[in-house]
Amino acid sequence: MDHTQLMQLFQSQDRFARFVGIQLESMAEGYALASLELTEEHTNGLGIAHGGAVFSLADLAFAAASNSHGQAAVAITATISFLKAVRSGRLQAEAREISQSGRLATYAVEVRDDEGHLCAAFQGTVYRKKEPLLPDSSS
């Protein structure tokens, strides 16, 4: 599987992630790392990172990791626990495949701040569709 092509696909086609400022940093089989540099626009009324921004970051990492096999995968469930408030800096979301069985796969995503503190824990399950993400995909 050519993960460079898949990363390019995500970076060019996920317009929402691009709009929010989320960057896909790396991708491998069942794995992805994404980041978000927090700005004032990412904060809520209390001046902390908006839950939607944190969820979106974790969701992009989840999507990239779950599609890293080259087969289209769509979320069927996702949950997040917010563990530490963040006001500024850079957040990183690291997604790992923790279970795969037939068409279903489950992923754990950890969102950490600049100092490596765990800020959010996300878990999601996907359904793998039959079609490949890339026309020449051999998966």
Any idea where the domains of the chain sit in the sequence?
A: 3-132
DSSP 7: H
- HSE (CB half, 13 Å, CA atoms) of 134? 18
pLDDT in single tens digits along all 139 residues of the chain = 678 888 888 788 889 999 999 999 999 999 999 999 999 999 999 999 999 999 999 999 999 999 999 999 999 999 999 999 999 999 999 999 999 999 999 999 999 999 999 999 999 999 999 988 876 644 4
Hey, what are 139's tokens?
A: 């998966």
CB-count exposure of residue 86 (10 Å: 0-12, 13-18, 19+):
buried
Distance CA 62, CA 57 (A): 9
Domain 3-132 CATH class label: alpha beta
pTM of the entire predicted model = 0.92
